């Protein structure tokens, strides 16, 4: 029997970049257009979001741009944060988590932390643990070329930067066993295996303390796809075919510690069409759920889609009906459409969406 | 004692792309400006160079554009070649070798061969062996994602495409032990090791049958350098830090089966500044020797530079004084200069040279 429609419930995208200003105005409505109800917003603005006032105002701006979207907000982990601020922010419900960027690994991460030593932030992590806030990790170590060693074991480059980070994740979990941690946009078979190992004794989803998000684009891409195609260049970079298969298998596994976070990261087309210093990021918001459905369909696993794009994310973040701005449901419908080559606000911003020019077989509709 | 000047003799760049038309007019003179005396010219024009008439006319065109450069010419391996044509071309001295492109791996390689089965070309290889012509291999297998196998061993991608090709090289050498073969622009520690193994019993350079060229850019670059920087994107792609170290060690080793071939590949800036389908290739001709000198200097190995950029290439190709258009010598001089951001012919072509904006410490001069 051919399935032509699937009820996805209240969908969530637990890793979203919407920027500020004109780009924010263009991109924020695309969350809902892309079939997403609940959106966890990244704080890597310039300067980063590190105050109550800022995060409240940012949320207000977003809410005006997309009144029916439920926005979950975050702080940017930096030395400006204090345990007192974390307590206050949690009590007010102003944030759901804090994002940790290793310094220098991706867009607007210059103010980030040294992933070789998190101990300076242990008082913050303690306050987060006490307040049930989530620590979102960009899990990469900055690149290092260790020319003095000849065996290459000291080298860190875009291909092993995530794998080299995994011991730091394990240590954080060991030191804060009740802190909820998300390894964001994981890209390697090794990362998937690490998350599996940490959760091997989990009997109920409520016991999960370490989860991982998987993006739409990493379910599609390998290294060959971004070599020569800056539209597909992002950090962490897409890896090998075997890594992509591990991500797909995790996404369709029905395991409640893998859920969707698009890491949709808008950049003006001119910043993606340069011979040097191309901006890292894939813009997938406008068809976020459709891209994921495409892969689940290829794997004959559409029955697992709702878990991945709704149930598991809401569960881990503890989002109940009361926290929702709208409980309107999303349905997936079989309807072919071609991803436009570009989208524009008509006022100067043009962007190329992920898979520009490709035909997708599924669309979303609001009930 | 500080060395400020080194006699490099008659230099050679054994892998050069100069195209046709306006680009050819711009680029051909840069061979000499970059400090190179002898230049082995690639045949991947559109259509490819596969006839006597074509290769003779192409050489005449180049000679007019750069009267003092010694041009060595090549055919493009394809089904249009016959053993008779090879015999004729060799007797006329019209070509020094034949370039083999696996179909679809790089610029203008659509007419290339299937690297999984060279046997269709064995009569050609026999004629080449008989005539002491050189087989130049672009040593990559085309990418394949083997989604049915989960262990990844069947996968071929830009990162292992060269390693996956090496058994084909070994088989060719076994089947044609007297055929001179060059593994062009090698990029991996595994390729270096393969060349070392094949040559482990060599007692005299005249015995070498399998050699490898190394480019200037692969002595400098790793994967991180082309991720987000299309100016550095080329095929084969630059690999890991450990691979780069292996290339540097081979180049400075003084082993006569490693020599310089820039694979300088000019592309208009607009083809390097796109969000999709960026042209593969690094333009390094204008400062070819300077880029290499920079690395040798960093390794305290300037005493090995002449071997790498002159002696070993001329030796393997059997180029003697009589074959030279000019025996004017090149000297390396300590003289800082900044690589321009772009170069242009003033008539519509603009290109970004390798390491645009970087300061180099060495220049070349003609004696």
Question: Are A223 and B158 a contacting pair at CB < 8 A?
Answer: yes
Local confidence band at A150 (pLDDT 50, 70, 90 cut-offs): low
Residues with Cβ within 8 Å of residue A218, at least 6 apart in sequence: A185, A186, A187, A238, A244, A247
The secondary element (H helix, E strand) that includes residue A269 is helix A269-272
Q: String of b and e for A339-367 (b: at least 16 CB within 10 Å)? A: beeebeeeeebebbbbbbeeebebbbeee
Is the CB of residue A157 less than 8 Å away from at least one CB of chain B? yes
Q: Per residue in A274-313, pLDDT tens?
A: 999 999 999 999 999 999 999 999 999 999 999 999 999 9
Q: B282 burial class (0-12, 13-18, 19+ CB within 10 angstroms)? A: buried
Q: Determine the residue of chain A that is closest to B281 in CA distance.
A: A228
* Calpha distance B213→B211 (Å, rounded): 7
Residues with Cβ within 8 Å of residue A358, at least 6 apart in sequence: A338, A339
* Predicted confidence (pLDDT) at residue A146 exceeds the cutoff of 80: no
Q: Per residue in B13-45, pLDDT tens?
A: 999 999 999 999 999 999 999 999 999 999 999
pTM here? 0.96
Residue A110's pLDDT is what? 74
Strands A330-338 and A359-366: antiparallel
Selected for mutation to probe chain A from B222, B225, B230, B340 (highest A CB count within 10 Å) is B230
* Calpha distance B230→B198 (Å, rounded): 34
Nearest Cα neighbor of B263 from B11, B75, B18, B8 is: B18
Domains and CATH numbers, chain B: 5-366 (3.20.20.140)
Find residue A334's DSSP bridge partners: A362
Torsion of the alpha carbons at B56, B58, B63 and B69, rounded to the nearest 10: -100
Q: What is residue A344's three-state secondary structure?
A: strand
Nearest beta carbon to residue B227 from set A145, A158, A273: A158
* Predicted confidence (pLDDT) at residue A72 exceeds the cutoff of 60: yes
* Predicted confidence (pLDDT) at residue A315 exceeds the cutoff of 60: yes
Q: Which two tokens stand for residue B10?
A: 């008659």
Q: Per residue in A176-189, pLDDT tens?
A: 999 999 999 999 99
Q: Per residue in B295-326, pLDDT tens?
A: 999 999 999 999 999 999 999 999 998 999 99
Is the CB of residue A152 less than 8 Å away from at least one CB of chain B? yes
Residue B143's pLDDT is what? 87
Measured in angstroms, the CA of B93 and the nearest CA of chain A are apart by 38
- Average pLDDT score over residue span A255-263: 98
What's the complex ipTM? 0.95
End-to-end, the C-alpha distance of chain A in Å comes to: 23
Residue B233: half-sphere exposure toward Cβ, Cα within 13 Å: 33
Instruction: Name the residue with tokens 């001295």.
Output: B93
Nearest beta carbon to residue B157 from set A223, A276, A356: A223
Whether A279 and A232 have beta carbons less than 8 Å apart is answered as no
- Average pLDDT score over residue span B62-90: 97
Whether B341 and B352 have beta carbons less than 8 Å apart is answered as yes
* Predicted confidence (pLDDT) at residue A149 exceeds the cutoff of 70: no
* DSSP letter, residue B46: S
Residue A288's pLDDT is what? 98
> Could you give phi then psi for residue A366, rounded to 5 degrees?
-90, 135
* DSSP letter, residue B323: G
* DSSP letter, residue A284: -
Whether B102 and B140 have beta carbons less than 8 Å apart is answered as yes
Q: Per residue in B74-86, pLDDT tens?
A: 999 999 999 999 9
Nearest beta carbon to residue B237 from set A222, A227, A269: A227
* Predicted confidence (pLDDT) at residue A335 exceeds the cutoff of 90: yes
Q: Per residue in B259-271, pLDDT tens?
A: 999 999 999 999 9
Question: Are B228 and A227 a contacting pair at CB < 8 A?
Answer: no
Q: Determine the residue of chain A that is closest to B352 in CA distance.
A: A275
* Calpha distance A239→A226 (Å, rounded): 10
Residue B117's pLDDT is what? 83
Is the CB of residue B149 less than 8 Å away from at least one CB of chain A? no
Measured in angstroms, the CA of B86 and the nearest CA of chain A are apart by 36
Local confidence band at A109 (pLDDT 50, 70, 90 cut-offs): confident
* Predicted confidence (pLDDT) at residue A144 exceeds the cutoff of 90: no
Instruction: Name the residue with tokens 């060991």.
Output: A174
* Predicted confidence (pLDDT) at residue A255 exceeds the cutoff of 60: yes
What is the sign, positive or negative, of the torsion defined by CA atoms of A210, A215, A216, A219?
negative
Q: Which two tokens stand for residue A251?
A: 């996404």
Q: Per residue in B155-202, pLDDT tens?
A: 999 999 999 999 999 999 999 999 999 999 999 999 999 999 999 999
* Predicted confidence (pLDDT) at residue A190 exceeds the cutoff of 70: yes
Question: Are B231 and A155 a contacting pair at CB < 8 A?
Answer: no
The secondary element (H helix, E strand) that includes residue B284 is none
Whether B214 and B250 have beta carbons less than 8 Å apart is answered as yes
Measured in angstroms, the CA of A116 and the nearest CA of chain B are apart by 20
* Calpha distance B346→A151 (Å, rounded): 48
Is the CB of residue A193 less than 8 Å away from at least one CB of chain B? no
- Average pLDDT score over residue span B115-130: 93
> Could you give phi then psi for residue A224, rounded to 5 degrees?
-60, -25
Average pLDDT of the residues of chain B: 95
Nearest beta carbon to residue B157 from set A151, A157, A241: A241
Task: Please list the alpha-helical segments (H only) found in B109-205.
Answer: 122-130, 161-175, 189-198
Residue A103's pLDDT is what? 82
- Calculate the CA A93 to chain-centre distance: 21
Is the CB of residue B150 less than 8 Å away from at least one CB of chain A? yes
- Average pLDDT score over residue span A202-230: 98
- Average pLDDT score over residue span B99-108: 82
Question: Are A352 and B274 a contacting pair at CB < 8 A?
Answer: no
Residues of chain B above pLDDT 70, percent: 98
Local confidence band at A25 (pLDDT 50, 70, 90 cut-offs): very high
Q: Which two tokens stand for residue B220?
A: 């400098």
* DSSP letter, residue A144: B
* Set of chain B residues whose Cβ sits within 8 Å of the Cβ of A106: none
Is the CB of residue A57 less than 8 Å away from at least one CB of chain B? no
Local confidence band at B115 (pLDDT 50, 70, 90 cut-offs): confident
């Amino acid at each position: 029997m051919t399935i032509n429609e699937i009820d996805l419930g209240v969908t969530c995208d637990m890793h979203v970049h919407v920027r500020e200003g004109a780009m924010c105005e263009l991109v924020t409505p695309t969350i809902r257009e892309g079939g997403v109800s609940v959106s966890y917003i990244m704080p890597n603005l310039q300067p980063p979001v590190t105050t109550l006032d800022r995060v409240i105002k940012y949320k207000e701006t977003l809410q005006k741009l997309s009144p029916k979207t439920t926005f979950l907000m975050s702080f940017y982990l930096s030395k400006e944060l204090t345990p007192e601020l974390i307590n206050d922010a949690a009590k007010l419900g102003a944030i759901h988590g804090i994002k940790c960027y290793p310094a220098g690994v991706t867009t607007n991460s210059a103010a980030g932390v040294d992933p070789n030593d998190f101990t300076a932030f242990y008082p913050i992590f303690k306050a987060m643990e006490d307040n049930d806030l989530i620590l979102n990790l960009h899990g990469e170590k900055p690149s290092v070329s260790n020319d003095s060693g000849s065996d290459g074991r000291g080298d860190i480059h875009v291909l092993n930067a995530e794998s080299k980070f995994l011991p730091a994740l394990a240590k954080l979990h060991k030191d804060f066993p009740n802190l909820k941690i998300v390894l964001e946009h994981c890209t390697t078979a090794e990362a998937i295996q690490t998350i599996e190992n940490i959760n091997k004794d989990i009997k109920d989803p409520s016991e999960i303390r370490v989860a991982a998000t998987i993006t739409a684009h990493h379910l599609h891409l390998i290294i060959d796809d971004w070599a020569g195609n800056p539209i597909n260049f992002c950090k962490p970079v897409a890896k090998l075919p075997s890594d992509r298969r591990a991500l797909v298998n995790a996404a369709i596994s029905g395991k409640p510690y893998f859920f969707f976070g698009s890491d949709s990261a808008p950049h003006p087309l001119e910043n993606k069409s340069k011979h040097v210093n191309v901006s890292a990021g894939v813009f997938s918001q406008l068809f976020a759920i459709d891209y994921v459905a495409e892969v689940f369909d290829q794997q004959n696993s559409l029955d697992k889609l709702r878990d991945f794009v709704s149930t598991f994310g809401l569960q881990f973040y503890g989002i109940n009906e009361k926290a929702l701005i709208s409980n309107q449901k999303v349905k997936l419908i079989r309807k072919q459409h071609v991803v436009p080559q570009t989208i524009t606000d008509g006022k100067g911003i043009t962007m190329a969406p992920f898979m520009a020019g490709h035909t997708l077989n599924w669309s979303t509709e609001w009930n």
